[in-house]
Amino acid sequence: MRIVVGEGSCGIATGSKKTAIEFEKQIADRKIKNVTVSLTGCVGTCFLEPIVDIYDDDGKMTRYTKVLSTKVNDIVESHVMNGKVLKDYEISEKDNTFVGKQTRIVLRNCGIINPESLDEYLAIGGYEATKKVITTMTQEEVIDEIKISGLRGRGGAGFPTWFKWDAARKSPETPKYMVCNADEGDPGAFMDRSVLEGDPHSLIEGMAIGAYAMGASEGIIYVRAEYPLAIHRLEIAMDQARERGFLGKNLFGSDFSFDLRIKAGAGAFVCGEETALIASLEGERGMPRLKPPFPAQKGYWQKPTNINNVETFANVTWIIMNGGKAFGSMGTKLSKGTKVFALAGKIKKGGLVEVPMGLPLKEVIFGIGDGIKNDKAFKAVQMGGPSGGCIPAELIDTPVDYENINKTGAIVGSGGMIVMDEDTCMVDMARYFLDFTRKESCGKCNYCRVGTKRMLEILERITIGEGKDGDIELLQELAHKIKDGSMCGLGQTAPNPVLTTIKYFRNEYEDHIYKKKCTARACKALLTFTINDKCIGCKLCAKKCPVEAITGELKGKHVIDNELCIKCGKCEEVCKFSAIDRI
């Protein structure tokens, strides 16, 4: 019997390490033989963590969810010792469809294999694709297979992968460099992190294949320093690959040599832009430069360089082993294959979702994510992170592919999906994302550096009830100038959340400016807090009010003095009886 505990970042955050330790302790204390405890990465059902899979000797797998260390004793006694599945702890049939409705290529091994075991990766065909490429295929044949697949870069721009590889291959200068952009910086995005933590060898193998195709002998993984577990498991995987000859000199007895190293980035969002990333690799401040020349001609140290993200590389081995046509048969005419999305926000089932391109948003959010928390109304989804835009409820049937999402004013981006319900203020949401991009601007372009700050100031005024006639038009004017006047993708896309919220939710801007009201009742400065008849006079709100604006007798209904109230919302936070209303 094998007990596998999910130890991705999400699992560890909910207590999976304590769960694993408790399993090991109980098995040792009870002297149970022929039972091992192992780890795996995140399977994607983050809303069910900690997750424990038990594989019986006959190969049958039972998945237990929300397994805190306090539940371990019950599972050991019933399942491990007596072979009886605990139905109360087992994953429900409904929750099981979260993964069952997906098509997994990038995430095919995540949550299944031990990411720290090369043997487990080899047992499922690991490094066979690398061997096939190096021993039986030419560079041109590899690139043709990627071209047939229609694989586009999954980092945001959606540029054809084969074209970038071929451009670097044709560049005459040497040495050449293969770089992985693992600097995942979008708020609410964790697709690349889960692959790094759950299946690091697939990234290494994908990079080795790409390096062979373009003629690179050195690779660099640029990963954000805030991903310590991902870096740790990458380092283990790289050491294992070197020991077995999958990295280093003369791979599979050929003339091709390739090795990797890790560069930990400082978490600058702008370094998602490839020329800014290259500057950071060279020890300079992460700032973009004009193109051309493109990195394929003049990249790292002015040598030919290719940059793709983690998800792009994770597709490569599957394509080589199954054929480009198989990958291209999924998705749409122009957007092939699958795409991984990170479902977050006001969603019932948050986690990782991998689906064929072209699936409607409705199926992702309601079919897989099970809809909105507390069954509230779906309002919008922010796609593409701070660089993307808000897609409203009336466009819920939009197919999720590059072309159709772009038509809405949003972008697919790296794959973040932040779901919003009826209580979300779209003006405040635009303010939040613009605040992020304003802080992350490298400052090189005046329009980006100053323009985003001016836009943010207007949004901040609007959300506190100080908006003025003409603010909406001024926001639109600034937005288009910033898009036109910025050098890199950060500035060119920073206004997208503002433009899309104005396009689809202009009434909310007008309510803030002209009526001094927040439609979603989210902007506290525009609210009036009152106490309703549910109040039992417990006095908790009065004790927590920082300005003593709440008065009333014990066990009697209290009142709020709105002349004194500073609208901090503390009363609402502490009330256990839903006695505080927002007006």
Q: For 338-421, which CATH class? A: alpha beta
Rounded to two decimals, the pTM is 0.93
277-308 as b/e: b if 16+ CB within 10 A: bbbbbeeeebbbeeeeebbbbbbbeebbbbbb
Whether pLDDT at 517 is above 90: yes
Residues in the chain: 583
3-state secondary structure of 359: coil
Q: Which residue has the tokens 């040599």?
A: 257
pLDDT digits (tens, 9 = 90+) for 386-417: 989 999 999 999 999 999 999 999 999 888 89
pLDDT tens profile 411-459: 998 888 999 999 999 999 999 999 999 999 999 999 999 999 999 999 9
2-98 is classed CATH 3.40.30.10: yes
Sheet of 52-55, strand order? 36-40, 2-6, 52-55, 61-64
* pLDDT on residue 185: 83
The domain limits of the chain are 2-98, 118-328, 338-421, 426-515, 527-582
Q: Are 419 and 346 in contact (CB under 8 A)?
A: yes
Q: What is the mean pLDDT of residues 17-22?
A: 97
Q: How far is CA 396 from CA 120, 341, 380, 419, 533, in A?
A: 40, 16, 8, 11, 38
pLDDT of 157 > 80? The answer is no
Q: Tell me, what's the pLDDT at 173?
A: 95
Helices (H) and strands (E) in the chain, counts: 24, 17
* Section 57-63 average pLDDT: 93
User: 527-582 — its CATH code?
Assistant: 3.30.70.20
Alpha-carbon dihedral of residues 101, 103, 107, 109, nearest 10 degrees? Answer: 90
Q: Which CATH architecture has domain 118-328?
A: 3-Layer(aba) Sandwich (3.40)
The pLDDT tens digits for 200-227 are 999 999 999 999 999 999 999 999 999 9
**What distances in angstroms separate CA 538 from CA 529, 534, 544, 545, 579, one per listed residue?**
17, 11, 12, 13, 11
Mean of all residue pLDDT scores within the chain: 95
Report pLDDT digits (tens) over 341-370.
999 999 999 999 999 999 999 999 999 999
pLDDT value at position 583? 86
**In sequence order, which residues have a C-beta less than 8 Å from that of residue 154 and are 6 or more positions away?**
308, 309, 311, 312, 315, 339, 340, 414, 415
Q: Percentage of the chain with pLDDT > 90?
A: 95
Classify residue 92 by its DSSP letter: P
The pLDDT, as a whole number, for residue 267 is 82
Per-residue pLDDT tens digits for 261-320: 999 998 899 998 999 999 999 999 999 999 999 999 999 999 999 999 999 999 999 999
Element (H, E) at 433: helix 426-440
Q: CA 553, CA 545: separation in Å to the nearest integer?
A: 15
Beta bridge partners of 6: 40
The closest of 574, 578, 582, 565 to 541, measured between CA atoms, is: 574
Q: At residue 543, does pLDDT exceed 80?
A: yes
Give DSSP secondary structure letters for 450-502: IIHHHHHHHHHHHHTT---TTHHHHHHHHHHHHHHH-SSHHHHHTTHHHHHHH
Average pLDDT on 529-555 reads 95
| pLDDT value for 158 | 87
pLDDT given at position 454: 97
Tell me the average pLDDT across 173-188. Answer: 93
> Does 189 have pLDDT greater than 90?
no
> pLDDT band for position 331 (50/70/90)?
very high
Query: Whose structure tokens read 């373009």?
Result: 214
DSSP annotation of 46 reads G
156-160, 276-280, 397-401, 474-478, range with the lowest pLDDT: 156-160
Q: Does 426-515 carry CATH code 1.20.1440.230?
A: yes
- The lowest-confidence range among 8-22, 114-128, 263-277 is 263-277
Q: How much is the pLDDT for 443?
A: 93
Question: What is the spatial distance between Cα 344 and Cα 414, in angstroms, rounded to a whole number?
Answer: 14
- Whether the link from the prior residue into 304 is cis, omega within 30° of 0, is no
User: 331 has which bridge partners?
Assistant: 336
pLDDT tens digits for 24-38? Answer: 999 999 999 999 999
Q: What pLDDT score was predicted for residue 22?
A: 97
